[in-house]
Amino acid sequence: MTDTPEYFPNRLDRAEQIILGLAERQANAQVELDELRQEMRELTTNVDRVLARSAILDDVLLELRDSHEQHQRNFEQHQRNFEEHQRNFEEHQRTTNAALQSLESILLQLIRNNS
């Protein structure tokens, strides 16, 4: 039965159909593969862009942190300077008041002595 002449053309036709089907599937797979490659390139480009921006933002963040820390140190130094000036002012005020009291005592004594 397999050696009959009618069987061979049917087998050949069937083999040709299978091969054509496989060729079509391969062509479709190649198109899909090309599309996936393009999408992968676009994704890679986007990832590269995001990573570059992330690196820039990391640098900016570090600079901001350093700047904030420096401002904090400056503020603390200004706060200490203010407190020292406040203490100096209070001490100056005490010594001035003490000197005024001494002068007042001297003046009262001079007034009594002249009376």
Q: Classify each residue of 58-97 as buried b or exposed e, where b means 16 or more C-beta atoms within 10 Å of its C-beta.
A: eeeeeeeeeeeeeeeeeeeeeeeeeeeeeeeeeeeeeeee
Say if residues 25 and 31 touch (Cβ distance below 8 Å).
no
- Position 3: which residue type? D
pLDDT at 9 over 80: no
Residue 23 scores a pLDDT above 70: yes
Stretch 99-111: mean pLDDT, rounded? 95
Output the pLDDT for position 4. Answer: 57
pLDDT at res. 6:
62
pLDDT tier at 11 (50, 70, 90 boundaries)? confident
Q: Is the pLDDT of residue 62 over 70?
A: yes
Considering only CA atoms, give the Rg of the chain.
48
Query: What's this model's pTM, rounded to 2 decimal places?
Result: 0.55
